[in-house]
């Protein structure tokens, strides 16, 4: 059995500009908590291999995937297919969301225009 505590997950900044804590890395996926400060946004990007799931746990913001925009908030789950250009922007408060990547997140799989 493998269990990891939140406190042991060291935060780092990804290539897209968000701060994440990798909560768990398994053979085929990663689970992380990402945070954006009020008004902060990730750099628009895509992942060639990874499919991502976001789950908003705190704050509100705007999600853009392939030119389609939607308001997001606590309880919203978002699917980002491999190869889809995307960007998330925090609203007036800190935005926190869980991010699951399969295969697991790698800087080398993040591409910008």
CATH code, 21: 2.60.120.10
Domain assignment of residue 86, yes or no? yes
- pLDDT tens string for the chain (113 positions)? 999 999 899 998 888 888 899 999 999 999 999 999 999 999 999 999 999 999 999 999 999 999 999 999 999 999 999 999 999 999 999 999 999 999 988 888 989 97
Domain that holds residue 80: 13-107
Q: What is the pTM for the complete model shown?
A: 0.92
What burial class does residue 28 get, using C-beta atoms within 10 Å of its C-beta: 0-12 exposed, 13-18 middle, 19+ buried?
exposed
CA 58-102-28 angle, 5° bins:
125
d(CA 74, CA 59): 7
**Is the residue at 5 inside a domain?**
no
Domain count, the chain: 1
């Amino acid at each position: 059995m493998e269990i990891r505590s939140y406190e042991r997950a060291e935060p780092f900044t990804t290539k897209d500009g968000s701060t994440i804590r990798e909560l768990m890395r398994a053979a085929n996926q990663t689970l992380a908590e990402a945070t954006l400060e009020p008004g902060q946004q990730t750099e628009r990007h895509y992942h060639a291999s990874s499919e991502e799931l976001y789950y908003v746990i705190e704050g509100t913001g705007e999600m853009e995937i392939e030119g389609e925009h939607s308001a997001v908030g606590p309880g919203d789950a978002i699917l980002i297919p491999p190869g889809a250009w995307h960007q998330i922007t925090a609203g007036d408060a800190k935005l926190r969301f869980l991010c699951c990547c399969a295969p697991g997140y790698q800087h080398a799989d993040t591409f910008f225009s």
